[in-house]
Amino acid sequence: MKSLILLLFVSSAAMADDAALLRCRTITDATSRLACYDALVLPVSGSAAGTSSAGRGAVQTLPGTSASSAQQKPAQFGLEEKLANKDVLDAIESHISGSFEGWTANSNIKLANGQVWQISDNSARAHYVDNPKVRIRRGALGAFYLEIQGTNISPRVKRVQ
């Protein structure tokens, strides 16, 4: 019986949202249509998330976060799945301290900033250089790529520390 009541509640909320969406879709002026979509109030579940209201709509926030989160810090780069912050960096730059001799599949690379990244593809390359500059950039579908000064190969990596 509880599930039937819950289903009726959820479906009626969805129908109300559909009606508002359909109303916005009929507006021909792009600016007015966007304003209509912006004015829609998104349903907020009170289960695991806390809620706060500001202005005319409700804003959903996860526990331990605020609605106005600061931009991501370089130390958090590569750990997004553990963060609720959606303002993410596109890349970070650092260097590898000391002598670098290249990489093989699954090898770990420690950066000067303390981060440790593991090669997650099957690439391997010998590259002998001291203190090379590196750049780790975000790729498609959550991938990260390591660009090492003096090479034209960017192995896929994942952050392990």
pLDDT tens digits, 112-156: 999 999 999 999 999 899 999 999 999 888 899 999 998 899 999
Query: Are residues 78 and 153 located together in one domain of the fold?
Result: yes
Residue 87 is assigned to a structural domain of this protein: yes
Query: Are residues 94 and 137 located together in one domain of the fold?
Result: yes
Residue 119 is assigned to a structural domain of this protein: yes
| Closest of 136, 132, 131, 126 to residue 149, by C-alpha | 132
| Closest of 147, 149, 81, 84 to residue 117, by C-alpha | 147
User: pTM higher than 0.75 for the full model?
Assistant: no
Tell me how many domains the chain contains.
2
Q: For residue 70, with 0-12 CB atoms within 10 Å meaning exposed, 13-18 middle and 19 or more buried, which class applies?
A: exposed
Domain that holds residue 20: 2-61
Hey, what are 116's tokens? 């440790």
Q: Within a 10 A sphere around the Cβ of 148, how many other Cβ atoms?
A: 23
Give the tens place of pLDDT for each residue, 17-51.
Answer: 677 778 888 888 888 888 887 777 765 544 444 44
